[in-house]
Amino acid sequence: MKQVGMNPQQAAQNAQVSNGLPPQLMQNIQNVKNVMQLMRGNPAALMQQCPQLGQVMQMARGQNLQQMFMGMCQQRGVDPNAILNALQS
């Protein structure tokens, strides 16, 4: 949730107050949202431009992604619903 007239750091600090997530995680969520937007266009081109995405796909192969996400959130002490809400906003 970026507010007009604020620099990205101020917006990230306000986002932490509103959803309880640290600013760095909010920046990562924004990056994911950008990738999701790009994938709506040409996923094959995105895979070529971002080799890390291919690595993530290899890591997740054969696993239940929801369970993997929930487990990673639990390991890091992060509320998965807060991340999902931030992705949907």
Where in the chain are the domains? 41-89
Identify the pLDDT of residue 40.
78
Identify the pLDDT of residue 10.
55
What is the mean pLDDT, run by run of 10 residues, along the chain of 89 residues? 49 55 88 79 74 78 86 91 89
Identify the pLDDT of residue 63.
84
Q: What is the number of H-type helices and E-type strands within the chain? A: 6, 0
Nearest Cα neighbor of 23 from 86, 88, 89 is 86
Nearest Cα neighbor of 35 from 23, 53, 21, 51 is 53
Identify the pLDDT of residue 65.
82
Identify the pLDDT of residue 39.
73
